[in-house]
Amino acid sequence: ASFLLLCFRSPLVTPLIFGLLLQPTLTQLSIISQPNIVLLMADDLGIGDVGCYGNDTIRTPNIDRLAKEGVKLTQHIAAAPLCTPSRAAFLTGRYPLRSGMDAINNYRVIFWNAGSGGLPPNETTFAKILQQQGYSTGLIGKWHQGVNCESRNDRCHHPLNHGFDYFYGMPFTLISDCQPTETPEMDRAFRRKLWLSTQMIGLIALTAALGRLTGLITVRWKTLTCLAGFSLLFFVSWFSSYGFVRYWNCIMMRNHEVTEQPMVTDRTTSLILRESISFIERNKHKPFLLFLSFLHSHTPLLTTEKFLRRSRHGLYGDNVEEMDWMVGQVLDAIDKGGLKDTTLVYFASDHGGWLERQEDKRQLGGWNGIYKGGKAMGGWEGGIRVPGIFRWPGVLPAGTVIDEPTSLMDIYPTVVHLAGGTVPQDRIIDGRDLMPLLRGTVVHSEHEFLFHYCGVHLHAVRWHQKDSGAVWKAHYVTPIFSPPGAGACYDRGFCPCFGEGVTHHDPPLLFDLSRDPSEAKPLSADTEPLFDTIIRKIERAIEEHRRTLTPVPEQLSVYNVVWKPWLQPCCGTFPFCWCDKEGDS
């Protein structure tokens, strides 16, 4: 006892005690269990569309504020260059082909609410784990991971079956067909072929009937009746789906209930924002997960009158600036609720901007800055390098920039560990916990290799050589730009993953992204002494990666993506599906 008393009287001990009591907030907040988590995901936003990533003409002050107050990732990579597979990887922390959510054909996303494909029920999303950890979980906005499997009410792919307590938004994705004044977007080329085939069949039937009436040809009336019936049946078979896209796909739901069919686009933005803020306010006294999945900045670029004609980049710029304003409103709700210091906020895009999306010389898609390529291109940086920003005051150092390879799949283990959960042990999780990197306790990302797929086709591989700091990238397949040298597939609308529209490279094209992020100067054995060594290292990694892949049902097979009337969500008695419950209320 006398020894302890002597110690406490020591002049060295008093400052030590005060030092421990006055540790910075960083240490105190670092042990907060179960922070609130707000995930903000833009749709089709290019990395070059945001101020803090170099855009000086589109105003994004709220997204820029997130970066100033938090951590900005400059090498944040989507696991796929299109919505459905990228979001599947984000939700599960796994490459989309592990869950069957990447395509072997040209139907690379979910095409109908009434398709039978979608995120399999046996996949475990981060929302499901957080739900088990006591979180209130909500998804507001876009889903695009399917709805039903075998019947209209089984809802096997629905958000509520994947760990979300509350859902308000589109089970599908925003498309130009949702706006009656816009040119239809969905399967446009295929629809033209169907129309042409219908007209040809109808013309043959009409010509045969006229020939029979005038006596120019001899044909039985029974044959003509069958021909006319076939013409009508062919027309009904495709027009029953494609003729009513706005009613079948452009719907809004609250949980399992269809609230708008078709959606009333003039108020969609305000309703999504209202629902997001309401969710925060309802759950501010307990841990919550809010996944706000914006409909911005996907065509048809729904923008309220307040933001029209404000930007220097036409309707697309207006739409991005409105989304930034929505981000600000959500951040204000967090601040006003006294939740700022206990809430991790994350902002990203699901993939790169859509370069080919144009109408009447208007550019309706995003810009990917210095990076080559864009949406739908699995290998080029412009299709997969996206904004990535984290903010958690007192825990994450403000104003930090990290140029290490990270992935949208990393969100999965990051939020699961923050919530006190554990990632599933019965499957491969490709994401890595980002908190040590974000907090600065480690210097390098855990990712040594990242594999860049286009559908199920491996197009490129990235190797992070940590001892030298180099980031090597080998392209095995690249799309053929059309017209030549244009930088995108303008003649097609989308770049393909396979077939005549791609080039296979043997040896692969090699780039050092640390020196050539624009992928402008491919290296060779003549210009890079380590060329053969690097390629051998990458090819060994590919072999090891492929050994981890197991066959799974293809969720985007032709059968699974076609429209099935018995699976169509409907707020009435099918096929009489129309309602406006938001307007009624």
Beta-strand relationship, 288-293 and 343-349: unpaired
The two three-digit tokens of residue 563, written as one number: 């429209």
CA angle 567, 126, 326 (to 5 degrees): 80
Q: Among the residues of 31-125, which ranges form H helices? A: 61-69, 83-92
**Between the CA atoms of 299, 300, 305 and 308, what dihedral angle is there, to the nearest 10 degrees?**
50
- 241-265: string of b/e by CB count within 10 Å (b at 16+)? bbebbbbbbbbbbbeeebbbbbbeb
Q: Which of 144, 296, 447, 452 is catalytic?
A: 144
Residue whose structure tokens are 């076939």? 230
CA distance 388 to 41: 10
| Closest to 165 in 3D by CA, of 122, 134, 143 | 134
CA distance 516 to 502: 23
The two three-digit tokens of residue 154, written as one number: 């089984």
Beta-strand relationship, 362-363 and 400-402: unpaired
**Residue 386: Cβ-neighbour burial (10 angstroms; 0-12, 13-18, 19+):** buried
| Closest to 321 in 3D by CA, of 294, 296, 346 | 296
CA distance 232 to 72: 57
CA distance 349 to 23: 37
DSSP state at residue 429: -
- Is 452 catalytic? The answer is no
CA distance 327 to 301: 17
Amino acid at 235: F
- Cα four-point dihedral sign 21, 23, 24, 26: negative
Find the largest Cα–Cα distance for the chain.
126
CA distance 75 to 464: 11
Amino acid at 188: R
| Closest to 70 in 3D by CA, of 321, 330, 284, 388 | 388
Residue whose structure tokens are 């709700």? 333
Q: Which of 7, 52, 76, 83 is catalytic?
A: 83
> Cβ contacts of residue 273 below 8 Å, gap of 6+?
326, 329, 330
Q: Find the helix or strand (DSSP H, E) in which 454 lies.
A: strand 449-454
Q: How many residues does the chain have?
A: 585
CA distance 178 to 295: 12
Contact status, residue 456 vs residue 102, Cβ threshold 8 Å: yes
- Is 444 catalytic? The answer is no
Could you tell me where the beta strands, DSSP code E, fall in 493-544? 502-512
- Cα four-point dihedral sign 322, 58, 296, 79: negative
Residues tagged active-site: 83, 144
